[in-house]
Structure 1
C-alpha cells in the first residue's frame, strides 16, 4: 500500500462498475445557497442546469469554490473526469482514457492531484491519483479492492469494499486494516472538523412516518467508538455535511437539513421544480456553503425553472 505525501480530506462517493447500454440519464443542477444567523437556505429562483444531455453526468464534488468535478460517461460507455468552472461556465477533461474508466473525483489537499476510483483494464477497482498537470497517474492502494465508495481522514481512505456483505474498512497501517461496519449505504462521508466517518447503516431498518428507513451512524477513527445521528429520510441513500453540525438530504424533489447538535428532526428547506426531471439523488456543497450541486434523473429535454 503506497503512502500519499499530502493530507487528503475530501469525501467521495462512486458507482461500483461501468454502466452499460440502457443506462439512465442524469444531469447536474446548481443552486445558490446562503447562511444567515446560522440558518441555511436556498436562494429562490437560482436553479440552473450545468449539464444538459441524454447521458450520464453524475457524482459531483467541489474541488474549490469555483470548480466542481464529476464523472461523465460517453456514448461508448467510458467514464472520464470532467471539471466545470462556474466563473467561466466551461468544461475541461481531467482524464481522457479509452481503456479505463474513472469515477468520483476529489482534489487532494496539496492541490496537485485529483483522486478517483479507477476501473482498470481487467475490471479491478482501486484508488488512483491523477496529477493536475496531466502527468502519469499513481496507484494509491495496490492491495485493497474492489473499492466501491470511500471517504478520506488523516491521509487514509475509509473504503466500502464490494462483497456479500459489503465492508467499510480503514487501514490504520498496511498490516492493520479494520472493519468499521458492514451492510452500509453508498454515501460515506467524513463529518467536518471531526475524526468521524459517517454512513447509513443498511443492516437493520426502522420505521419513520410509516415508511422503512435506516439509521445514520458514525465510527470515530481517533476515539475508536461508534454512535448515530438518528434516521435518514425514507427512500433516500445520499447525504452530505454542510458544516460540522448540519446534514443535507433529498427526498423526491425536496431538500431537507438536520441539525445534529440540536437533536432536531429533518426540516424541509426547498422544493426543486424541474420539469422533465425525476428525483434528486447525489448532492455536493461548496467549501463556502454558497453553492449546491444536485444530480437529477433526466426524463425529457427541458429547461430549468426555479427552486422555492
Structure 2
C-alpha cells in the first residue's frame, strides 16, 4: 500500500488546516418526531452541544443515551470524547498526546470503541479501545491508510486511501478483497441487512445544486451490488434512518429519501446565527434526537 504525506491525508480525509482556521466545527442537537420517511425536525429545540473554536466532529451514538465524537485540543491533537445525554457530562474516553483518533464508534460486539488512529509516524490504521479501560489494540496491522469504515459481522468495511480510493472488507488476515474502487467518504452499513452502503464516485451527474453521486451497496452474503439512487446534490455525507430511508443535509436543511424513491424531501431546517453547513450526522431513534456537525461562521 503506498504511503502518503500527512498533509495530503489530512486534506483528503478530514479537513484541511485552512478550513479549520475558518471557524472550526461544533456539534448541534435537535429533537425529532416521527420515524422513517415521516421523520421531522423540531427546529425550536436546536442548540449547540459543543461551542469551541477547535474541531468537534464525526459523532456516533453508541447506546440509547451516549454519543462519541472526535475532538481536537488547542495543539491540534484529537481524542475520543464521550457525551452522556442522561447526565449532560463530557468525558475523555481517550487522552493520547502522541496520536489522534478519528471516527469513533461502537463495535458489533459492544466491547470496544473503534477509531481510525493517526499514529506518531502518520500511519492511519484501525484501533480498538476496550470499554473496560484497558490499553488500546491495533486491529489490522497491514491495512493503511484507513480513512473511514463501518462494521458488519464483527469485521470492518474500510475506505482505504489510494489511487483510486477503495472499499475493502476484512474477512480474515490476508483475505481483504476490494469490493469497489473509486469510492467516497461515506461508508455506512445498512441496518438489518447484509449490505454496506457507500458513495460510488464513478456514478456522478450534475444536479441543480451541484454534483449528485450514486449511492451503492454491496451485499456481503450474496456478493451482489445494489443501486440506491443518487445523493442530495452538493452533499457527500449520508446516514441511514432505518433500513429503507437515507438522511442527508445541504446548508442548514436536512432531507430524507426512501431508497426506492428518487426525490429528497425536506424534514426541516436548523437555524443558527453562528453556524452553517451541516455535514456529518448521527441519529438516535431511542432519544428522538439528531446530532449534526455544523461549521462555525467566519467572524
TM-score using structure 1 length: 0.87
Structure 1 or 2: more strand by fraction: 1
What displacement does 1:52 show? Answer: 0.5
Matched residue, 2:231: 232
CA offset at residue 300 of structure 1?
Answer: 5.5
Does residue 138 in structure 1 map to residue 137 in structure 2?
A: yes
The answer to whether the 8 Å contact 2:186/2:198 transfers is: yes
Q: Which runs of 5+ in 1 are unaligned?
A: 1-14, 302-308
Secondary structure at 2:280 match in 1: strand
State whether residues 32 and 289 of structure 2, in contact with CA within 8 Å, keep that contact through their aligned partners in structure 1: yes
Q: Deviations over 1:74-110 (max 9, x none)?
A: 1111000001111211100001111111111112244
Further displaced range: 191-200 or 41-50: 41-50
Deviation at 1:220, TM superposition (A): 0.9
TM-score normalised per structure 2: 0.90
Write out aligned runs for 1:1-308 (5 A).
Answer: 16=13, 20=17, 23-24=20-21, 25-35=24-34, 39-209=38-208, 211-261=210-260, 263-288=261-286, 290-299=288-297
Asked whether the equivalents of residues 196 and 221 of structure 1 are also in contact (C-alpha less than 8 Å), the reply is yes
Q: Is the 8 A contact 1:42 1:269 kept in 2?
A: yes
Structure 2: state its 5+ residue gaps: 1-11
Larger relative contact order (CA 8 Å, sep ≥ 6): 1
Distance in 2 between residues matched to 1:282 and 1:248, nearest whole Å: 10
Query: 1:10 corresponds to which residue?
Result: none
Change (3 A) 1:108 1:275: same
d(CA) in 1 for partners of 2:179, 2:220: 9
How much does 1:111 deviate?
3.0
Work out whether residues 216 and 228 of structure 2, in 8 Å CA contact, stay in contact via their aligned partners in 1: yes
Structure with the higher helix share, 1 or 2: 2
Q: Offset of 1:287 from its aligned partner?
A: 4.7
**Counterpart in the other structure of 1:305:** none
SS of 1:102's partner is strand
Instruction: Report runs of 4+ in structure 1 exceeding 6 Å deviation.
Output: none
Instruction: State whether residues 60 and 104 of structure 2, in contact with CA within 8 Å, keep that contact through their aligned partners in structure 1.
Output: yes
Change (3 A) 1:179 1:267: same
Contact 1:215 1:229 in 2 (8 A): yes
**Contact 2:80–2:93 (8 Å) recurs in 1:** yes
Tell me if structure 2 keeps the 8 A contact 1:129–1:140: yes
Asked if the contact 2:13/2:185 (under 8 Å) is kept, the reply is no
Shift of 1:21: 7.2
Question: Number of residue pairs matched?
Answer: 287
In 2 relative to 1, CA 77–222 (structure 1 residues): closer, same or farther, beyond 3 Å? same
Query: 2 CA distance for matches of 1:37 and 1:172?
Result: 32
> Is the Cα contact below 8 Å between 1:69 and 1:105 reproduced in 2?
yes
8 Å contact 1:18–1:77 — kept in the other structure?
no
The whole-number CA distance in structure 2 between the counterparts of 1:215 and 1:41 is 25
Could you tell me whether the CA contact under 8 Å between 1:81 and 1:103 is conserved in 2? yes
